[in-house]
Chain A
Amino acid sequence: MTNETAIAPTETAEEKMLRLVTGGWTFFLLIALVAVFLVLRPAQFGSAYNIQQLAINAAILLVLATGQTYVIITAGIDLSVGSVLVFASVVSAKLMLMLSGVDGTTYGTTAAGWDIIAIGIAAALVTGAVWGALNGLLIALTRIQPLIVTLGTMGMALGGAQILSGGVDVRAMPELLVTQVGSGRFLGIPMLVIIAMVTVVLAGIVLHLTRFGLHVFAVGSNEEASRRSGIPTRARLIQVYAISGLMAGIAAVMSNARFSTTTINGHAMDNLATISAVVLGGTSLFGGAGTVFGTVIGVFIPIILLNGFVILGIPPFWQTVAMGAVLILAVWIDQLKRRLRKRG
């Protein structure tokens, strides 16, 4: 019996268009938004100042969303990112304050040197990573749903932060941290943006070019198959959530530097914002597929939307309506994509 050629005819033009659209549509949406706002308010929306502010406003969320990308690719979810950020920022701030020998939550800044700041940064990163690893351990070993586990750690981390701080923000940050990192620039680019860019690029390289990254996709695509192929799936899950926590730690340092205070009552919506960003970027909630580049687009869309609406003077409620609609569109298109490929 001869083997018929199993190669299907090449895609029709329509199928190709559909694939292009579903694959890169958010990128085009971003370009379209930018174009519309530029046309309506060129000098205001397109000013160098505004673009820089957009980038700075995106920076912290970008770092958080990068971690969330890893998590969602494993078909998981991390609701605790905002709370872990708050916890790490409190630990870091209190430690630096204690080490500078200043008592209480005085306003203004302290004269702590880079050595103390380094310790503070390390504390934030370790704290974040530990919370993340805790998430990963619970999820990998007890098999409880990530939604539930991270919901729990979200509460614990926020509560822990409030206990540690007495519910009062720590407002005395090292001056060097605030001026050099929070508002500092390097070659004209804000430090916060540089930190975000470096983090995102590194995360992208690891995810798309290394074996670890491939394993992340494999575990998300079919955990059982990965396990049977010898991939240490439990270890990978723990590592992925630890990465998400580490990102929250980095974001905590950035937040302390930017606002010159911990923001215990803020970051409440960060978890949903990161999830929206990741989904908008084309990562599937079912796991196994996604890109860091897509997340970058997903982060910028709501930020540009908010910025453009405020510049245009559109009432605030419309922003949330628009964001909700875009998100539903994103998930619907993800479904379309899945159905498209089943047809093959």
Chain B
Amino acid sequence: MNQPLLEAAGISRTFGHVQALNGADFKVYPGEIVALIGDNGAGKSTLVKILSGADRPDGGLLKVEGQEVRFTSPLEAQMNGIATVYQDLALAPDLTPAENLFLGRELMKPGILGRLGFLNRKAMQAQSVKQFAMLGVQLKSQRVSIASLSGGQRQSVAIARAAMWARKLVILDEPTAALGVVQTARVLELCKRVRDAGTSVVLISHNMPQVLEVADRIQVLRLGQTVADLKSSEASVDDLVRAMTSGQAKEVVR
């Protein structure tokens, strides 16, 4: 049995009087898409924030490839190979796809020009074209500001950026929530490509048919605890709903 890429065990987190997480577990293995689902208030956002380094647990531990870690910031999580794409996408609408891919990690011209701060736009453009091609992302144009791209294409840019800089794991928070049917299908296809390229994907979603279609495994949160860990090939929408609302479901033995 291979080692989980990222493992969270017994995570608890309290905000004032509210216990958002109460001994939640989570596991992601290399090369898979795992969906994290749960009703509103189940603790998904809190768990995601902890996994991505934006928040710290009050109890429990996190392990990356078997080593215990404590993330003090999202930057630290990123250095450990984990990137998160939140619903607001964190893209700069006036910049081009290439500029967005390299935001904060721009390529410099070689030699003294580079040290003076001159950008190597050609190299950034070339690499971003490669990255998009590898992931099968086709954009209306690579040279316009991303504000003029569709919602689905913007989402694809955000995911492509995360996959480019985080080689181990990409966490996506409700990536298709605001998208139409066709765009949703493309984003899900992109998730598969990311997984196939070697980066695992954690998908938070409300949409159960979607989740069953694209994820390899599904973990269900309810009232701050993990109540189910199902293989998507063996689960049905009813199973998921039952798990989310009552906490009872078939368990997977791995």
Q: Which of B78-113 contact A (CB under 8 A)?
A: 88-95, 99, 103-106, 108
In the complex where A214-B119, A231-B104 touch, is A342 in contact with B147 (Cβ < 8 A)?
yes
Residues on the A chain within 8 Å of B103, using CB: 218, 225-226, 229, 231
Do residues A214 and B148 form an inter-chain contact, with CB atoms below 8 A?
no
Q: In whole Å, how far is A69's beta carbon from the nearest beta carbon of chain B?
A: 15
Q: In whole Å, how far is B184's beta carbon from the nearest beta carbon of chain A?
A: 11
Residues on the A chain within 8 Å of B186, using CB: 3, 6
Partner of A229, one of B94, B104, B144, B150: B104
CB-CB contacts of A191-220 with B at 8 A, as 1s and 0s?
000000000000000100111101001101
Q: How far is the CA of A209 from the CA of B145 in the complex (A)?
A: 17
Q: Please give me the residue from chain A that is nearest to B91 by CB atom.
A: A225
Q: In whole Å, how far is B116's beta carbon from the nearest beta carbon of chain A?
A: 7
Chain B interface, DSSP helix/strand/loop, else mixed? loop
Q: In whole Å, how far is B222's beta carbon from the nearest beta carbon of chain A?
A: 30
In the complex where A214-B99, A229-B104 touch, is A344 in contact with B93 (Cβ < 8 A)?
no
Residues on the B chain within 8 Å of A289, using CB: 94, 145
Q: How far is the CA of A222 from the CA of B105 in the complex (A)?
A: 16
Do residues A217 and B116 form an inter-chain contact, with CB atoms below 8 A?
no
Q: In whole Å, how far is B238's beta carbon from the nearest beta carbon of chain A?
A: 25
Partner of A341, one of B99, B106, B137, B147: B147
In the complex where A210-B117, A211-B119, A228-B74 touch, is A6 in contact with B140 (Cβ < 8 A)?
yes
In the complex where A210-B119, A231-B103 touch, is A221 in contact with B138 (Cβ < 8 A)?
no
Q: How far is the CA of A288 from the CA of B95 in the complex (A)?
A: 8
Q: Which of B139-183 contact A (CB under 8 A)?
A: 139-141, 144-145, 147-150, 152-153, 182
Q: How far is the CA of A222 from the CA of B145 in the complex (A)?
A: 13
B5 CB within 8 Å of chain A: no
Q: How far is the CA of A221 from the CA of B149 in the complex (A)?
A: 15
Residues on the B chain within 8 Å of A224, using CB: 88, 90
Residues on the A chain within 8 Å of B117, using CB: 206, 210-212
Q: Contact size class for A?
A: 20 to 34
Q: Which of B88, B91, B103, B149 has most A Cβ within 10 Å?
A: B103
Residues on the A chain within 8 Å of B129, using CB: none
Residues on the A chain within 8 Å of B185, using CB: 1
Do residues B139 and A6 form an inter-chain contact, with CB atoms below 8 A?
yes
Partner of B92, one of A225, A341, A342: A225
Residues on the A chain within 8 Å of B74, using CB: 228
Partner of B140, one of A1, A3, A7, A218: A7
B136 CB within 8 Å of chain A: yes
A12 CB within 8 Å of chain B: no
Chain A to chain B: the 6 pairs with minimum beta-carbon distance, closest first: A288-B94, A229-B104, A344-B148, A341-B148, A221-B92, A230-B104
A residues neighboring B (CB under 8 Å): 1, 3-8, 206, 209-212, 214, 217-218, 220-222, 224-226, 228-231, 287-289, 338, 340-344
User: What are 5 contact pairs spanning A and B, CB under 8 A?
Assistant: A1-B189, A6-B140, A210-B119, A225-B88, A287-B94
19 new A-B contacts at CB < 8 Å, known A338-B147, A343-B148: A3-B136, A3-B189, A6-B140, A6-B186, A7-B140, A209-B119, A214-B99, A214-B119, A217-B95, A218-B92, A218-B99, A221-B92, A224-B88, A224-B90, A225-B90, A225-B103, A341-B145, A344-B140, A344-B149
